[in-house]
Amino acid sequence: MVSDTKPVSIAQIGCGYWGPNLLRNLASHQGYKLVALVEKREARRAYVAAQYPGVRLYDDVASVLSDPDISALVVATPAATHFALTAAAIKAGKHVLVEKPLATCVADADRLIELADRQGSVLMAGHTFLYHDAVHELRRMLLDDFLGQNFYMHSQRLNLGQLRSDVNVWWNLAPHDLSILCFLAGDRMPRSISASGTAFLQPGIEDVVTATLVWDDGLTAFVHVSWLDPAKVRRLTIVGSRRMVVYDDMSDYKITVLDKGFDHLPHIGENMDFDDGPMVRFEQREGGIHKPYLRMREPLRNEIDHFRECIATGQEPRTGGRHARWVVALLEAGQQSIKAGGSPIALSPPV
């Protein structure tokens, strides 16, 4: 652990699509001292040199791994490299924030968790939406029973592009939704997952996937991810017995609460018994629509804050090894289901 006040010396590995956002937050945060960046591409190193002239630049990781003054590392590289880089960083005595997913298989995720526990390092995955104020408002509504019984949830993460060739759309986009859904289900893993996908543009790389998650208590969630839809959609809907709520990350008003659904109407049966017999009557309810004000902070900033706090206190991160492993397990099982033509895959009890 380090002091609550002394800045944590930190280095970042990788500066691709998401890397500049991480660098911006690390460089401007009083709790960190951004020391170095590792990036193989000369053009990206030149970009960092122009934006952050005091940051040391390397083209390999050996220099930052062997530097005893660097306490923490951020791994922002392609998913296939996460395990090896994170394992090397932990063995070097560093705290690690690694972008999602933690690893590309459960076995590797387990190895990283065991290694971090043994070394006493903070291991945290960058599931940024669990640091989003709107997602926490959804969880509050569920915990307060504001929506009534949670019937089901469905998420859509759609756009035209960005096509990837290293992973399919399931591994690229679904980690966000799987992370959110486990969080909203009360930090619980589903008991099973089934998924189907189609590769339209690149053989063997699915660009459209749909999945169904089922929990032990019957809660169900549906996930739809695509690189081939005409509009960018980032939406999650929760259908409750009392109210419904839509979280639209593309809207200025992130959350919309709808007081609508069906009410069960009591009726008199033949024997003068209320609600006796097969005749069940419902009345559709159309109530008001409410868009609550939320104090919105940058989720990535919240995530960086939380990583710093965990380094200082030794606490388990919100998106630490256990949560990150759940997401990897769901991704792996979902991929198995896709290959099996959509057959449900049972998930092992969570660790």
Pairing of strands 192-198, 345-346: antiparallel
Q: pLDDT band for 351, please (50, 70, 90 cuts).
A: very low
Query: Is 70 exceeded by the pLDDT of residue 330?
Result: yes
Mean pLDDT of 223-230: 97
Half-sphere exposure of 30 (CA within 13 A, CB side): 2
CA distance 169 to 163: 8
Mean pLDDT of all residues in 238-245: 95
Q: How sure is the predictor about 318, in pLDDT bands with cuts at 50, 70 and 90? A: very high
Domain check: are 134 and 112 in the same one?
no
Tell me how far the alpha carbon of residue 60 is from its chain's centroid: 28
Residue 6 predicted with pLDDT over 70 = yes
The residue out of 79, 111, 128 marking a domain boundary is 128
In a domain, 101, yes or no: yes
In a domain, 314, yes or no: no
pTM for this predicted structure: 0.91
Q: How many domains does the chain have?
A: 2
What range does the domain containing 85 cover? 8-128
Residue 303 lies in a domain: no
Alpha-carbon distances of 289 from 69, 129, 161, 259, 264, rounded to whole Å: 54, 25, 33, 6, 21
The predicted-structure confidence for 30-74, as pLDDT tens digits, reads as follows 999 999 999 999 999 999 999 999 999 999 999 999 999 999 999
Same domain membership, residue 255 and residue 138: yes
Average pLDDT, the chain: 92
In which band, very low, low, confident or very high, does the pLDDT at 279 lie, cut at 50, 70 and 90?
A: low
Q: What is the DSSP string of 190-256?
A: -SEEEEEEE-SSBTTB-SEEEEEEE-TTS-EEEEEEESEEEEEEEEEEEEESS-EEEEETTSSS-EE
- Res 285: pLDDT: 72
Confidence band for 272, pLDDT divided at 50, 70 and 90: low
Q: How far apart are CA 186 and CA 347, in angstroms?
A: 17
CATH of the domain at 245: 3.30.360.10
Helix (H) / strand (E) containing 289:
strand 281-290
Domain end residue (candidates: 78, 108, 128): 128
For residue 238, tell me if it sits in a domain: yes
pLDDT band at 162 (very low <50, low <70, confident <90, very high): confident
* CA distance linking residue 266 with residue 152, whole number of Å: 25
In the predicted model, is pLDDT for residue 350 greater than 70?
Answer: no
Of 90, 81, 112, give the one whose Cα is nearest residue 323: 112
CA 312/CA 300 separation, integer angstroms: 19
Q: How many CB atoms lie within 10 A of CB 48?
A: 22
- Cα end-to-end span (Å), the chain: 25
Give the span between the Cα atoms of 148 and 336, in whole angstroms. Answer: 34
